[in-house]
Structure formats: C-alpha cells, structure tokens
Amino acid sequence: MKIGNINFGERPLFLAPMEDVTDIGFRRMCKRFGAAMVYTEFVSADAVIRNIQSTLKKIIIDPEERPVGIQIYGRDVNSMVEAAKIVEQAEPDVIDLNFGCPVKKIASKGAGAGMLNNIPLLLEITREVVRAVRTPVTVKTRLGWDSNSLIIDQLAEQLEDCGIQALTIHGRTRSQMYTGEADWTSSAK
Ligand SMILES: Cc1cc2nc3c(=O)[nH]c(=O)nc-3n(C[C@H](O)[C@H](O)[C@H](O)COP(=O)(O)O)c2cc1C
C-alpha cells in the first residue's frame, strides 16, 4: 500500500485520529508499538487561521512519529485552503480532510459529516486543497448521512478525481454516530 511516496508494505496498521486521545505522547507510544501511520487529533481550520495556540499545539510533530498526518475540518473552501497551507508548514506526511465527524456542534454546522449533505462543496474543498499544497491530501468520511443516502461508492470515485491519495471510510452513517457494528462490506467494495 502506498500513499504519495510512502510505501507501507502489505497490511499496515493505522492509528485512527481521535480528538483528546491522539496527542503527541500517545502517537509516539503507538508508533513504538508498531503503528505504521498516525494522525493528529482533528483541528478546526478556523482555529488554525485565527492562530489559536491550543490548536497549534495539536499539530506539533515529532520526527520520531513519522509518517504522520495532520487532520483538519471546516466548512468553506477558503478557510480549508488557508488552513491546509498553514499546517503544511509543520511538514506532515499527509494532510487529511475530515468529512466524517458526526458530533452535533460540528456536523449540524455543515462541517465534518455535515459535508455529506453538500457533496458539491465537499468536492470543491477537496479539489482546491489538493491544488493549494504539495503534501499528499487524503480524506476521511462515512458511508453517507443516513441509511437512505449511502453514497460512498460514487463519492469515492469523485474524490479520486479530485486528486486525493487515499480515502479512509468509517463504515457507519452519520445517523449511526458511533453505535452498532461498522459495515465493512459497503466500505470494502
Ligand atoms: C474519542 C474519539 C475521538 C475521535 N476523534 C476523531 C477525530 O478527531 N477525527 C476522526 O477522523 N475520527 C475521530 N474519531 C473516529 C475514529 O477515528 C474511528 O473512525 C471510529 O471510532 C471508528 O472506529 P470503531 O468502529 O473502531 O469505533 C474519534 C473516535 C473517538 C472514539
């Protein structure tokens, strides 16, 4: 498996990005225990642009943890592009766009999984971020907003056309939040 120029071998183990969990110490520890790839907690594009120190602390990278992805979320093209350019200065190995967070305060404002209700905007953000940075761009999203809108197969192809280097699929819909078994069959097509 390859993302950009990084070769991960056949069955790499990736640490999922987790807010309030995947801080730098946790990432270093997971790396020592064999994680092939780790991610920062997601950070808000607006907070990055506004130079919020607690947010910028979350994107500090230790050479020991590489390869590492910085994950950002937001709901408009300009702020996602600007934030991607800023986080690129921390020299992550990939920049990951979060279109999967289900929590109300984020998704109901149209960011995270909320973007699944506005696919044209999701694709425009992705396309423009890919264009704006040299770092490989990846996306994480869900199967769809709910069981009546399982759009992931078509979305995966559209995202590929935008130039992303990898796609992580959380095998649940936004409506499922974190409940029940993840559907690995839909996301494995
Ligand atoms: C405490 C917690 C925080 C999370 N934060 C993020 C995050 O910042 N970015 C993200 O893409 N996913 C986040 N997730 C989702 C996980 O990365 C993962 O996709 C999800 O838990 C599905 O895996 P599971 O079926 O093993 O629970 C979070 C999950 C948990 C439990």
What is the tens place of the pLDDT at every residue in 162-184? 999 999 999 999 999 999 889 98
d(CA 75, CA 106): 9
Confidence grade of residue 187 (pLDDT, cut at 50, 70, 90): low
Q: Is 55 in the pocket of ligand 1 (CB under 6 A)?
A: no
Query: Residue 60: which H helix or E strand, with range?
Result: none
Q: Which residue, judged by its Cα, is nearest atom 2 of ligand 1?
A: 18
Active site residue 30: no
Residue 189 has pLDDT above 60, yes or no: no
Q: Which residue, judged by its Cα, is nearest atom 4 of ligand 1?
A: 18
Ligand 1 centroid to Cα of residue 165, in Å, is 20
Q: Is 112 in the pocket of ligand 1 (CB under 6 A)?
A: no
Q: Is 176 in the pocket of ligand 1 (CB under 6 A)?
A: no
Do strands 6-7 and 2-3 pair parallel, antiparallel, or not at all (unpaired)? Answer: antiparallel
Q: Which residue, judged by its Cα, is nearest atom 22 of ligand 1?
A: 170
Predicted local distance difference test score (pLDDT) of residue 41: 98
Predicted local distance difference test score (pLDDT) of residue 38: 98
**Residue type (1 letter), 27:** R
Asked whether the whole model's pTM tops 0.85, one would answer yes
Q: Which residue, judged by its Cα, is nearest atom 9 of ligand 1?
A: 17
Q: What does the DSSP assignment read for 68-100?
A: EEEEEE-SSHHHHHHHHHHHHTT--SEEEEEE-
Ligand 1 centroid to Cα of residue 41, in Å, is 9
CATH class of 13-170: alpha beta
Enter the tokens of residue 51. Answer: 């130079």
Q: Is 42 in the pocket of ligand 1 (CB under 6 A)?
A: yes
Q: 32-54 pLDDT, tens per residue?
A: 999 999 999 999 999 999 999 99
d(CA 40, CA 74): 16
